Structure 1
Amino acid sequence: MRSAIGLLEIKNITKGILVADAMLKAANVELVMAQPLCPGKYVVMVAGDVGAVQSAVRSGQAAGGSDNIVDEFILPNAHASIFPALTGCTNVKEIKALGVIESFSVASAIIAADAAVKAAAISLLEVRLARGMGGKAVVTMSGDVGAVSTAVRAGSDVIKESGFFLDSLVLPAPHKNLHEVLY
C-alpha cells in the first residue's frame, strides 16, 4: 500500500544506483522510480508504510553521502493523484484555468504538487521531472481560476524556503489550442 513516498535526488548516476540498492535492502518498500534524469542526476522514489519509507530514505542517504544528495523528501500521506501525474497518465480533456509551478529540483516539484492538490479542488495534469529541461521540474494543474490560484500559491510557498522555487504562473483562460501542445 502506498501510504507514504520517499525520494532521493542524487547528483550522479553511479551513486544513484547505489542509493536505490540500499533503499530497497533497508525496508519493505515498493520501488516507484529509479532512473537517470537531466543533467546526469538520478532519482529514486519508494512507497510503503511511513516507517519503512523513512528507513529506506535514511539508508539511501547514508549510502549516497550528503555531498551527493541534491534534494529529498518523505511524504507520509501523498495525495493519490501524484502517481498518475508523475507518469503523465492523467486524462486531460479540457484545460480551464492553467496553473504552472517551475522548480530547480524534482523533489521540490513533487512536494509542490502534493501541497497544491491538497490545498484546492484542482486536477493535477502532470509533474514533469527534469527530462530535457536541464534538471528543472514543472507541475501543471487545471481547475477554476480561484482554485488554481490557491493551489499554485500553496505549492509555491511550500518550496520557496528550500531555494529550489523558480517561477509560477496562472493563466485564467488559456487559448484552446494550448492544450494540444502541452500534452
Structure 2
Amino acid sequence: MANAVGMIELNSIARGIEVCDYMIKAAQVNVLRASTVCPGKYMVVIGGETGAVEASMKDGLGRSGPCAVDTLLIPNIDDQVIPAIYMTNPVEVLGALGVLEFYSIASAITAADIAAKAANVTLIEVRMGFAIGGKGMVTFTGDVGAVKAAVAAVQNTVELMVGSTVIPRPAPKLLESIL
C-alpha cells in the first residue's frame, strides 16, 4: 500500500495524458486514477513511497506548464483514503453520516485524510469530479460525535469547501443508495 499520494489536475486532456506518462516514467509510482473529469479536465492520482511520489510530482508539474489547475501531495496518507477512492473500504457498521463537498478534487482528498485522522470514522467514498461537475465529495460514517469532530477538523483546515452535513440517523434507503 502506498504511504504517499500525489495528484495533478489539468485543464487539458491531451496534456494530462502526456503528463501522466512522464510521471509514471519519472519514478516507481502506482497510478491510482488517471481519467477525464468534468468539465473537460484530466486528473492524475499516483501513490507510492514518499520520495518516489515527490519525484514524480516534480516532473509532472514541470511538464504541466500553465495547464495545471490544482495539485496535492500527502506524504503519510491515512490507510482508509485509497480504498475510499476506489470505494472498496469495508464499512461494517453504519452510524451517523458525514458528507463534505468541495469545488476542488484535491481538497476532497485532503479532507478525507484529515477526517480519517481527526476522529474514529470510517470513510465510505472519495468521489472525484466525475458526474458531479468537477467537484470532490467525501462521505463517511461513525458515531455522531466522531462524525461532527471530523467535519469540524476539515472545516478548520481545508479550502474550497462548498458545504457539509451531518445526518445523525440516516434513513436505511439513503444508506443503501450511498453504499
User: Would you call these one fold, judging by a TM-score over 0.5?
Assistant: yes
- Structure 1 residues 37, 118: CA separation in 2 closer, same or farther (over 3 Å shift)? same
- One-letter identity of the residue aligned with 1:20: C
- Identify the range of structure 1 (68-77 vs 107-116) with the bigger mean alpha-carbon deviation: 68-77
Alpha-carbon distance in 2 for matches of 1:104, 1:114: 17
- One-letter identity of the residue aligned with 1:177: K
Instruction: Determine if contact 1:103/1:167 at 8 Å carries over to the other structure.
Output: yes
TM-score, scaled relative to structure 2 = 0.94
Identity across the alignment (%): 42
1:41 CA drift (Å)? 1.2
- One-letter identity of the residue aligned with 2:172: K
Could you tell me which residue of structure 2 aligns to residue 159 of structure 1?
Answer: 158
- Identify the range of structure 1 (93-102 vs 79-88) with the bigger mean alpha-carbon deviation: 93-102
Could you tell me which residue of structure 1 aligns to residue 71 of structure 2?
Answer: 72
Cα deviation code 1:25-64 (max 9, x no counterpart): 2112122211111111111111122111111111111111
SS in 2 for 1:118: helix
Could you tell me which residue of structure 2 aligns to residue 43 of structure 1?
Answer: 43
List structure 1 runs of 4+ shifted beyond 3 angstroms: 91-94
- One-letter identity of the residue aligned with 1:88: M
Instruction: Determine if contact 1:71/1:108 at 8 Å carries over to the other structure.
Output: no
Alpha-carbon distance in 1 for matches of 2:63, 2:155: 31
- Identify the range of structure 1 (88-97 vs 37-46) with the bigger mean alpha-carbon deviation: 88-97
Could you tell me which residue of structure 2 aligns to residue 26 of structure 1?
Answer: 26
TM-score, scaled relative to structure 1 = 0.92
User: How many aligned residue pairs are there?
Assistant: 179
User: Equivalent residues in 2 for 1:1-183 (5 A)?
Assistant: 1-65=1-65, 67-160=66-159, 164-183=160-179
Unaligned runs of 5+ in 1: none
1:21 CA drift (Å)? 1.2
For the aligned residue pairs, the C-alpha RMSD in angstroms reads: 1.3
Alpha-carbon distance in 1 for matches of 2:171, 2:149: 21
Instruction: Determine if contact 2:12/2:67 at 8 Å carries over to the other structure.
Output: yes
Alpha-carbon distance in 1 for matches of 2:153, 2:90: 24
Unaligned runs of 5+ in 2: none
1:24 CA drift (Å)? 1.2
1:176 CA drift (Å)? 2.1
